[in-house]
Amino acid sequence: VKKMILDLDTGVDDALALAYALATPDADLIGIVSSYGNTLVDTAAENSLKLLELLDASDVPVFLGESHSSTTDDFATMEISMAIHGRNGIGEVELPKAARPVEAKHAVDFIIEAAHEYGEDLIIVPTGPLTNLALAMQKDPSIADLIGNITLMGGALVVPGNVTAYTEANINQDPQAADYVFKHAKHLVMVGLDVTLQTLLTKKETQVWRDLGSKKGQIFADIFDYYIDAYDRLDINHDGAALHDPLAVGVAVDPKLVTLLGINMQVTHEDGRTIGDPERLRDTHKTNFAAVEVDVPGYLERFMNYMNIVLSD
Ligand code: BDR
Ligand code: CA
């Protein structure tokens, strides 16, 4: 069975990615790396620790990653993130302080060591900016050819972005890092807005979690309802909120959930646009794949099954 590392900027949909990763039988979650993004990096790490504790998975180590983009420490998008994910990243839901701290090892070193240990069997799923992964690949360039699979939530190929007309939030926060990862990865799958905006969750589904009668179900429903309300309030979508990050985890273990287009990409440094790389576009060997269609009912059914497992007492 494959080994998985999640790199989370633990906001609302990242929390669902964490839950999905715990539930799927197709990969062992060996660690969570923390990133800035939806929240500050310390808050993201603390959220991951708290959520793991809630879900009886305190054996999964959490590593602190970079606190800001490789090119700027200005959090231009923090205000909008907080409006969507709440000031604490998890929908203003207060969870008890985590009983354990983050690991002493830095996220970048954990990624490098795991790449050497598991190689082809390692799946890395970043659902925030790509700062940690790019740094790891730059610190030890040999890992680019070791890591079997990088499946990330980020980018937009055909549909418009969610920060600018061309840019998606995760990529936008560190375009240079993203460009490095896209160009150096051996096998990279981009699960971007093209597909994640199609997989929506509504209060009908969060009610199913409440009806489980468990504390976990009620907490996850409260967290996600905040995000549904924010989508509505901010006019992003009125019929539910996007399952961005858990879709990336789903595709990482089962790429058949989506239609993949082999296209070697670059990320423009100025505005974080994910487009074809003229240098590699005509290569017959593709290292980058963009998800362009998704089996929405199939994915939602699996997602709900896994959530029911993980949220039941
Ligand atoms: C991505 O940005 C973050 O707000 C979400 O958690 C998701 O990873 C969507 O653009
Ligand atoms: Ca995220």
pLDDT digits (tens, 9 = 90+) for 211-256: 999 999 999 999 999 999 999 999 999 999 999 999 999 999 999 9
Residue 267: both structure tokens together: 């990320």
CA of 200 to the centre of ligand 1 (A): 14
Ramachandran class of 91: left when φ > 0, alpha when ψ lies in -120 to 50, beta otherwise = left
Instruction: Tell me the angle at which helices 78-85 and 215-233 cross, rounded to the nearest 10 degrees.
Output: 130
What CA–CA distance (Å, rounded) separates 113 from 16? 26
Using the mean position of ligand 2's atoms as its centre, give its distance from the Cα of residue 15 in Å.
9
Side-chain-side CA neighbours of residue 126 (13 Å): 31
Q: Do 217 and 311 touch, CB atoms closer than 8 A? A: yes
End-to-end CA distance of the chain: 25
pLDDT of residue 162: 94
Tell me, what's the pLDDT at 291? 98
The reported pLDDT for the residue numbered 279 is 97
- Mean pLDDT of all residues in the chain? 97
Round to whole Å and give the CA distance between 302 and 160.
Answer: 27
Q: What is the pLDDT of residues 27-39, one digit of tens each?
A: 999 999 999 999 9
Using CA atoms, how far apart are residues 84 and 195, in angstroms rounded to an integer? 20
CA distance 263 to 188: 10
Would you put residue 34 in left (φ > 0), alpha (ψ -120 to 50) or beta?
beta
Nearest of 296, 280, 5 to residue 133 by alpha carbon: 5
Decide: 169 in ligand 1 pocket, CB within 6 A. yes
Mutate to test the pocket of ligand 1, among 12, 153, 199 (most ligand atoms within 8 A of CB): 153
Q: Residue by residue, what is the 3-state secondary structure of 142-205?
A: HHHHCCCEEEEECCCCCCCCCCCCCECHHHHHCHHHHHHHHHHCCCEEEECHHHHCCCEECHHH
- Catalytic residue status for 9: yes
* Secondary structure element (H or E) that encloses residue 288, with its range: strand 288-294
**Amino acid 105: pLDDT:** 98
Q: Can you give the pLDDT at residue 192?
A: 98
Residue 78: per-residue pLDDT: 80
Give the β-pairing of 288-294 and 241-242.
unpaired
Helices 296-311 and 203-211, packing angle to 10 deg = 30
Out of 9, 14, 194, 245, pick the active-site residue.
Answer: 9
Please list the residues that pair with 190 across neighbouring strands.
Answer: 152, 290
- The per-residue pLDDT for 79 is 85
- Catalytically annotated residue among 68, 85, 106, 244: 244
CB 30 within 8 A of CB 57: no
Amino acid sitting at position 77: T
Question: pTM here?
Answer: 0.98
- Ligand 2 centroid to Cα of residue 282, in Å, is 31
**CA–CA gap between residue 175 and residue 48 (Å, rounded):** 25
The residues, any chain, with a CB within 8 Å of residue 220's CB and separated by 6 or more, are 15, 16, 19, 206, 209, 307, 311
Rounded to two decimals, the ipTM of the complex is 0.98
* Ligand 1 atom with the shortest distance to the CA of 128: 8
Beta-carbon count within 10 A of 187 CB: 15
Residues of the chain whose pLDDT is less than 70?
76
